[in-house]
Structure 1
Amino acid sequence: MKPIGLRTRVSAAFALGALMLSACISLVSYTSIRNTLFAERERTAVRSTYYDAAVVNAGITGADPDVLEVLRSLGTGSDRYVLLHYGGRWHSRSADLAADTAVPRALQEMTSGGEAGAQRVERDGRPALIVGVPLAGSAAFYEIISLDELDRTLQALALVLTAVAIMVAAGGAAVGWYVTRHALRPLTAVASAARGIAGGDLTTRLDPATEPDLAPLSIAFNDMADQLTRRLDRDRRFAADVSHELRSPLQTLAAAASVIEKRRAGLDERTAAAMALLTAEVGRFQTLVDDLLELARSDQPVHREPVDAAELARRVCRSRGLAADLVEIAPDTPEFWLVDRRRIEQVLGNLIDNAIRYGGGPTAVRVGDGYLEVDDAGPGVAPEDRTTIFDRFVRGPAARARGNDDGTGLGLAIVAEHAAAHGGQATVGERPGGGARFRIDLSGQQT
């Protein structure tokens, strides 16, 4: 499972915090407003009920009063219903109320004891408030006030507060994303600098003054880059010095081996075989020293000049006994490139030599708009080996399978170094139809 990134975690924490805070505020606000509205509604209902109760009480004090007419004289509207318990019977203005069940028993007992009271109830699944007021004698007056409008108001309020909480949470996530983006910007600069050094730009450094809080990290990074640069410089100088020191004795050995080789016919069979092996190893040793010297010089600036890339490719092929028509020129390819002639010639030569030695021979040498490609007819390069095949002293499976020890393991490393010196890169992929395709991208090197 892929781990969640820091920016996502911080944004989620901001969103969750904002949601919890807004939810708490919304809940407190809703509860406070709800209680206030209910209290105000109850006060209004009680005042209205007392007023109507006074009217009813005055209307039923005479002899043989018309109770129904008295109740109809009340202006209660459509959201209020009235009930009167008088003379042991229930009276109402309409016949749709079950009076004996509409008023809770506890409220009836309270009014029969001479106390006024109010109670919230559910009537036909809707909220309502019943207010009871005792009248003269044993009579009692009740009003049932619908709370539908108040309930709808509270539902609308709940929806608004919920929407506000969601928007606040979204705003918190946006703030978290913005904050982490700016907070991680110095780390992004560190990552970019690290990629630059990994790509070969050893001059990359960080400015400690850019972010004072990360100044120790910037100083440590710059110190690490300085030490790495010094270490690489020492390694290059060591390789160059060793190679230079080895060239003189190697030339002496090669000259001596050449003299003996000319008299090989006069040697016995075992001596001649040993001499042939010695000569081959001396030649391989010379090649290795030359390659090491080339790698030691690879960090030097390139000497750019206009080069006819197509003609250079044909010349490299002819020098190895290959047909010049092996070179293919892609459409829209510039005639001249601004490159280091010696290095590009060596790049092509190493790739063609690699194809001859390990890839069954080159099938095409392609010159395109800012790139060079060499196809071979070999077994190809496995995907897991494609990232390491350009490392120093790394030999591919094809070389190991053939048991061929005449290579130095530095040819492709030199190719990669020369490509990087031109601001490009070396890659290897699969050729359509089988085999390997080595590619050198030199974008922007044309004249």
Structure 2
Amino acid sequence: MKVGLRTRVSAAFAVGALLLSACVSMVSYELARSTLIHERERTALRATYFDATVVDAGLPSRSSDVGEVLRSLDTGADRYVLLHRDGQWYSRSADPSAGAAVPRALQEMTGQGEAGLQRIVEDGQAALVVGIPLSSGVFYEVVALTELERTLKLLALVLTAVAIMVAAGGAALGFYVTRHALRPLTAVATAARNIADGDLDTRLDPDTEPDLAQLSISFNHMADQLSRRLQRDRRFAADVSHELRSPLQTLSAAASVVDRRRDGLDPKAAAAIGLITEEISRFQDLVDDLLELARSDQPAHREPTDMRELVTRVCRSRALSEDLVEVAPGTPGVWPVDRRRIEQSLGNLVDNAVRYGGGPVAVRLGRAGDRHVIEVDDAGPGVAPENRTVIFDRFVRGSAANARGDGDGTGLGLSIVAQHAAAHGGVVSVGDRPGGGARFRMEFP
């Protein structure tokens, strides 16, 4: 599945913002963590030196009560004091295993007369151990870092949330930027679609986006050239068709005179006259269709039209039963349409069903939202999916017509239907009819 440009740019903005915010967050976290730990170590070291001075002053002799001196210290709930004296460990609780919290490396350092500190993890909790040599032993304080760890976790959570919000903001910024940047291209795509739908007057304003002025000018030039080319083609088709009508009428009149005397001719001549008459009639139909296509660029002349009466008249003119006509409930009886064009379009669809679709089985009027709908169902083999678009092009005949070998079609009937639907601002399509056959559908406002 291909991802759109807007999605890719928005994702790139989001990833870039996430990476940048993640880097800033990690650097900020490390700096804050280093600062907080360093400050906590300094505070713990000052407090330990103060308590060590008090202990050293309270133990003037070997017979002093060590436990009483240690209990006199105001350590709070986050500090734990120890004294190593004469090979024994003393604490405020007289716990014989109190010295287990002091790392061996720190004991060796203080045993050499040097003060030091070391971070440890005891029972899953981080702590800081500070050791200071005294005249009567070595004094240790174990300072819990639980509050500091909680603060660092909260800081990490906040920075993570900030990084996620920055990434979301980057994605939103990317979406906005791409939407703004692609707006001129969207206008070009809309203009191209309008031209493809038949609105040849669509143009772009070069002053709207100065950076794309050259593109707008080139697009307008292309549209002008296309419009002039189509107008020349229509004028040529109209001129040629008009010039052909007079000699065709003469040929048709002459052929009809000879055709009325066909019984007096030999069989070969009579067959030749029949072929000539049929081809002249087909040629006349082709010229009429070409003239209709040449005039199809004119806007539709809408007027209130009784659609049921129009559909019934089309069926009656082709000797079809009026029972074919179906009107869906809630469908208005009068539509604002170009009567001549809709009648010709419907006639072409019915003729197509008669010639290639085994005959029409229903001609239906209805509504789909705010659009009028005309459907013609037939009993034929249907239209293959790959042919459902091209059969509305000029001089294209479906597989059913080719299979039958019929030569009475001009290949322009469905093209005229598509042109008339477009003149009404609508479309024509073909699909499968439930139960078999094809369903041709016209929709227009």
TM-score range, shorter chain: over 0.9
**Cα shift readout 1:247-299 (whole Å, capped 9, x = no counterpart):** 22222322332232223223222222222222222221111111111111111
Distance in 1, matches of 2:68 and 2:335, equals 111
Distance in 2, matches of 1:371 and 1:123, equals 81
Map 1:206-245 onto structure 2 (within 5 A).
Answer: 206-245=204-243
1:300 aligned onto 2:302 = no
Distance in 2, matches of 1:338 and 1:155, equals 72
Secondary structure, aligned partner of 2:126:
strand
Q: Which residue of 1 aligns with 2:277?
A: 279
Post-superposition offset of 1:96: 4.1
1:407 aligned onto 2:409 = yes
Distance in 2, matches of 1:313 and 1:183, equals 50
Amino acid at match of 2:422: A
Distance in 1, matches of 2:269 and 2:300, equals 46
Q: Which residue of 1 aligns with 2:64?
A: 65
Post-superposition offset of 1:31: 1.2
Map 1:164-179 onto structure 2 (within 5 A).
Answer: 164-179=162-177
Secondary structure, aligned partner of 1:389:
helix
Equivalent in 195, 198, 202 of residue 197 of structure 1: 195
Secondary structure, aligned partner of 2:250:
helix
Post-superposition offset of 1:395: 0.9
Q: 1:186 to 1:432 in 2, by over 3 A?
A: same
Distance in 2, matches of 1:55 and 1:313, equals 113
5+ residue gaps in structure 2? none
Distance in 1, matches of 2:123 and 2:425, equals 82
Conserved 8 A contact 2:359-2:380? yes
Amino acid at match of 1:114: G
Map 1:21-100 onto structure 2 (within 5 A).
Answer: 21-96=20-95, 98-100=97-99
Amino acid at match of 1:36: T
Q: 1:85 to 1:302 in 2, by over 3 A?
A: closer
Conserved 8 A contact 2:90-2:96? no
Q: Which residue of 1 aligns with 2:328?
A: 330
Post-superposition offset of 1:95: 4.2
Q: 1:332 to 1:82 in 2, by over 3 A?
A: closer
Secondary structure, aligned partner of 2:392:
coil
Judge which range, 334-343 or 233-242, deviates more. 334-343
Amino acid at match of 1:339: V
Amino acid at match of 1:427: S
Judge which range, 141-150 or 267-276, deviates more. 267-276
Q: Which residue of 2 aligns with 1:355?
A: 353
Q: 1:179 to 1:97 in 2, by over 3 A?
A: farther
Judge which range, 203-212 or 52-61, deviates more. 52-61
**Cα shift readout 1:160-194 (whole Å, capped 9, x = no counterpart):** 11111111111111111122122211111111111
Q: Which residue of 2 aligns with 1:373?
A: 375
Conserved 8 A contact 2:255-2:277? yes
Q: Which residue of 2 aligns with 1:149?
A: 147
**Cα shift readout 1:27-68 (whole Å, capped 9, x = no counterpart):** 121111111111111111111111111122122222522222
Post-superposition offset of 1:204: 0.8
Q: 1:85 to 1:330 in 2, by over 3 A?
A: closer
Distance in 1, matches of 2:299 and 2:76, equals 98
Secondary structure, aligned partner of 2:279:
helix
Q: CA RMSD in A?
A: 1.8
**TM superposition score normalised by structure 2:** 0.94
Map 1:333-344 onto structure 2 (within 5 A).
Answer: 333-344=331-342
Distance in 1, matches of 2:326 and 2:64, equals 120
5+ residue gaps in structure 1? none
Distance in 2, matches of 1:307 and 1:374, equals 19
Judge which range, 17-26 or 243-252, deviates more. 243-252
Secondary structure, aligned partner of 2:305:
strand
The list of structure 1 runs, each at least 4 consecutive aligned residues, that deviate by more than 4 angstroms after superposition, is none
Secondary structure, aligned partner of 1:337:
strand
**TM superposition score normalised by structure 1:** 0.94
Amino acid at match of 2:182: L
**Cα shift readout 1:316-365 (whole Å, capped 9, x = no counterpart):** 22222223343233333433333322222211211111111111112222
Amino acid at match of 1:329: V
Distance in 1, matches of 2:31 and 2:110, equals 30
Q: 1:371 to 1:78 in 2, by over 3 A?
A: closer
Distance in 2, matches of 1:292 and 1:191, equals 31
Q: Which residue of 2 aligns with 1:258?
A: 256
Amino acid at match of 1:58: A
Judge which range, 366-375 or 2-11, deviates more. 366-375
Q: 1:308 to 1:72 in 2, by over 3 A?
A: closer
Post-superposition offset of 1:368: 3.4
Amino acid at match of 1:410: L
Conserved 8 A contact 2:17-2:166? yes
Secondary structure, aligned partner of 2:390:
coil
Conserved 8 A contact 2:82-2:99? no
Amino acid at match of 2:350: I
Amino acid at match of 2:12: A
Amino acid at match of 1:123: E
Amino acid at match of 1:394: V
The number of residue pairs the alignment matches comes to 441
Post-superposition offset of 1:424: 2.1
Amino acid at match of 1:406: D
Q: 1:336 to 1:106 in 2, by over 3 A?
A: closer
Q: Which residue of 2 aligns with 1:10?
A: 9
Q: Which residue of 2 aligns with 1:289?
A: 287
Q: Which residue of 1 aligns with 2:186?
A: 188
Distance in 1, matches of 2:23 and 2:115, equals 37
Distance in 2, matches of 1:71 and 1:333, equals 99
Conserved 8 A contact 2:25-2:163? yes
Q: 1:436 to 1:84 in 2, by over 3 A?
A: same
Q: Which residue of 1 aligns with 2:105?
A: 106
Post-superposition offset of 1:414: 0.8
